Amino acid sequence: MMFQCDRCGLCCQNLDKSELYRDLDRGDGTCRYLVNHECSIYESRPLLCRVDECYERFFSGEYTRNEYYELNYKICKKLKEGEDLSCHCH
Ligand code: SF4
Ligand code: SF4
């Protein structure tokens, strides 16, 4: 099982919702590596951008994989619906 990301790029345009992504933020909440709505360093993107690896490294003691995916899918959904978010968990 893997996290199902449709690569809409919305999370990469809302980095200012979390301090963790500050180094990637080009200054307006969008990642400096997002080019034409795609990650230009996808194969070598940071660990924080990798949902499955983040789960394995940081969250597997706290959540089941499905629970963690659901938390992430909720954020994807909110981003797609244009809701303002105060947190960003992956
Ligand atoms: S918002 Fe969700 S679906 Fe869109 S790119 Fe980010 S993780 Fe993938
Ligand atoms: S490095 Fe890539 S996946 Fe990570 S926030 Fe930037 S554009 Fe998105």
Q: How far apart are CA 90 and CA 87, in angstroms?
A: 9
Q: Are residues 13 and 32 in the same domain?
A: yes
Tell me the residue type at 43.
E
- Is the pTM higher than 0.95? The answer reads no
Q: How far apart are CA 65 and CA 68, in angstroms?
A: 5
Which range of residues forms the domain containing residue 62?
50-83
Residue 85 pLDDT level (bands cut at 50, 70, 90): low
Q: Are residues 77 and 64 in the same domain?
A: yes
23 CA to centre of ligand 2 in angstroms:
11
Q: Are residues 18 and 34 in the same domain?
A: yes
What pLDDT, on a 0 to 100 scale, did the predictor assign at position 61? 98
Q: What is the pLDDT of residues 2-47, one digit of tens each?
A: 999 998 999 999 999 999 999 999 999 999 999 998 999 999 999 9
Smallest CA separation from ligand 2 atom 5, residue: 12
47 CA to centre of ligand 2 in angstroms:
10
Is residue 1 in some structural domain? no
**pLDDT over 60 (residue 86):** no
Domain count, the chain: 2
